[in-house]
């Protein structure tokens, strides 16, 4: 049996509005947690599937600290790939793609990559066997590798994969039909599981997102007679949320989040709750978004106030995760004295056709 930990998209060097440079402290804390957990459970392999660094221009002191941490755990192998290949312009500017000025080509970084317990895969050297386990890198495309002689075959691929490609993503089926036992995916910043591969999401969430989209954590993979993909959340990691304040429940939601140490950016609120929103803003961990919208409900108030929940609870087949979007849509876009059947018809056309 093989057991490994899979993480990705740490984005060392990234900053956000609340933590700034201190984000790195959080990243280090949970990186050490990951390695300590591995040691406790006798896990010998940790895979980081790209975007370790937020850019190829990340400061040398941060790079050094990262490698010193993973080097300290010298009984654990770390598999690393860059977050893009040589030829994908969209990834070249943002993160740690393997361009000519890649962070991984710096002379002071080379010495770390030559260490015994670091397995660095790049377009120049995409596969390697350690302890009878073969690791194969893919860089914004299906790995271009041939099968090596080993007991286990692990793909490590950074890029946009989907089971229903609609916006130029690469087919997961194609990847899963190859010879891999499991493929560690990186690129998307939230956990998503397919049959033989998964996105781990970021080790520590740092971007503001709407509720439920992101969390902090990693994947524990066991490969034996069957494949097990277990996502483990860091429950005590800070969360960063964007939030619309549409009713008193939303105010309560924000208060609860702040209570547990999270940060909230308010992207819109209804005029009627302006005073409550101003009260919230006295807390330094709550801010208004630059493009915050104050919703006017004039003209729709009477109708919507009485029927919004009715509309949403009517059995017309709205998926649960659409409900919030629909609420916002109604408040932003429906003007005038629309009747309930009209709204219903409109929403059906927009969301169900």
Residue with the two structure tokens 């609860």: 256
56 versus 295: smaller Cβ distance to Mn ion: 56
Segment interacting with Mn ion (CB under 5 A) among 22-30, 47-55, 121-129, 313-321 = 47-55
Strand partners, 219: 6, 231
Give start and end residues of each alpha helix (H) in the chain.
Answer: 23-40, 60-72, 89-92, 107-113, 172-176, 248-259, 274-280, 301-313, 323-333, 340-352
26 versus 51: smaller Cβ distance to Mn ion: 51
152 versus 188: smaller Cβ distance to Mn ion: 188
Contact 27, 77 (CB under 8 A): no
10 versus 119: smaller Cβ distance to Mn ion: 10
Contact 190, 177 (CB under 8 A): no
CB atoms within 10 A of CB 82: 29
CB 338, min distance to Mn ion, A: 42
Does 9 sit near Mn ion (CB under 5 A)? yes
CB 35, min distance to Mn ion, A: 21
Does 26 sit near Mn ion (CB under 5 A)? no
Expressed in angstroms, the distance from the first to the final Cα of the chain is 47
Does residue 178 come out as left (phi exceeding 0), alpha (psi in the -120 to 50 range) or beta?
beta
Does residue 170 come out as left (phi exceeding 0), alpha (psi in the -120 to 50 range) or beta?
beta
57 versus 72: smaller Cβ distance to Mn ion: 57
Residue showing the smallest CB distance to Mn ion in the complex: 51
Contact 47, 156 (CB under 8 A): yes
- Give the orientation angle of helix 323-333 with respect to helix 301-313, to 10 degrees: 160
CB 145, min distance to Mn ion, A: 22
CB 186, min distance to Mn ion, A: 7
CB 230, min distance to Mn ion, A: 22
187 versus 297: smaller Cβ distance to Mn ion: 187
Size of the site for Mn ion (CB under 5 A): 2
50 versus 268: smaller Cβ distance to Mn ion: 50
Of 340, 320, 324, nearest to 332 by C-alpha is 324
CB 202, min distance to Mn ion, A: 7
Of 50, 48, 20, nearest to 34 by C-alpha is 48
Does 54 sit near Mn ion (CB under 5 A)? no
Does 51 sit near Mn ion (CB under 5 A)? yes
Segment interacting with Mn ion (CB under 5 A) among 3-11, 53-61, 124-132, 159-167 = 3-11
- Angle at Cα 207 formed by Cα 88 and Cα 331, nearest 5°? 110
Residues 164-193 close enough to bind Mn ion by CB under 5 A = none
73 versus 161: smaller Cβ distance to Mn ion: 161
Does residue 42 come out as left (phi exceeding 0), alpha (psi in the -120 to 50 range) or beta?
left
Segment interacting with Mn ion (CB under 5 A) among 2-10, 124-132, 167-175, 219-227 = 2-10
CB 220, min distance to Mn ion, A: 21
Strand partners, 288: 266
CB 69, min distance to Mn ion, A: 20
- Residue numbers of the site for Mn ion (CB under 5 A)? 9, 51
């Amino acid at each position: 049996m093989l057991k490994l930990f899979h993480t990705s998209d740490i984005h060392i060097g990234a900053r956000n509005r609340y933590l700034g440079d201190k984000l790195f402290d959080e990243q280090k804390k949970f990186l050490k947690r990951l390695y300590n957990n591995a040691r406790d459970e006798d896990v010998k392999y940790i895979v980081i599937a790209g975007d370790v660094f937020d850019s190829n221009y990340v400061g040398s002191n941060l790079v050094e600290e990262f490698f010193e941490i993973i080097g300290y755990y010298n009984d654990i192998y770390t598999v690393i790939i860059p977050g893009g290949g040589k030829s994908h312009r969209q990834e070249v500017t943002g993160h740690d793609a393997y361009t000519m000025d890649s962070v991984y080509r710096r002379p002071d970084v080379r010495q770390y990559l030559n260490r015994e317990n670091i397995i660095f895969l790049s377009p120049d050297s995409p596969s390697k066997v350690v302890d009878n386990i073969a690791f194969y890198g893919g860089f914004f495309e299906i790995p271009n590798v041939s099968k090596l002689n080993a007991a286990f075959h692990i793909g490590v691929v950074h890029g946009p994969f989907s089971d229903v490609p609609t916006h130029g993503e690469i087919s997961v089926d194609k990847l899963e039909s190859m010879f891999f036992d499991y493929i560690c995916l990186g690129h998307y910043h939230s956990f998503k599981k397919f049959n033989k591969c998964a996105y781990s999401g970021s080790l520590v969430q740092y971007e503001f997102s709407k509720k439920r989209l992101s969390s902090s954590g990693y994947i524990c993979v066991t490969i034996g007679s069957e494949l097990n993909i277990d996502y483990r959340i860091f429950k005590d990691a800070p969360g960063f949320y964007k939030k619309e304040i549409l009713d008193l429940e939303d105010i309560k939601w924000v208060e609860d989040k702040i209570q547990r140490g999270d940060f909230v950016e308010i992207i819109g609120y209804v005029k009627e709750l302006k005073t409550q929103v101003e009260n919230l803003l006295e807390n330094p961990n709550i801010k208004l978004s630059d493009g915050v919208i104050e919703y006017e409900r004039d003209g729709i108030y009477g109708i919507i106030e009485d029927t919004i929940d009715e509309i949403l609870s009517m059995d017309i087949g709205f998926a649960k995760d659409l409900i919030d979007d629909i609420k916002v849509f109604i408040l932003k876009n429906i003007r005038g004295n629309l009747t309930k059947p009209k709204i219903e018809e409109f929403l059906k056309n927009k969301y169900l056709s």
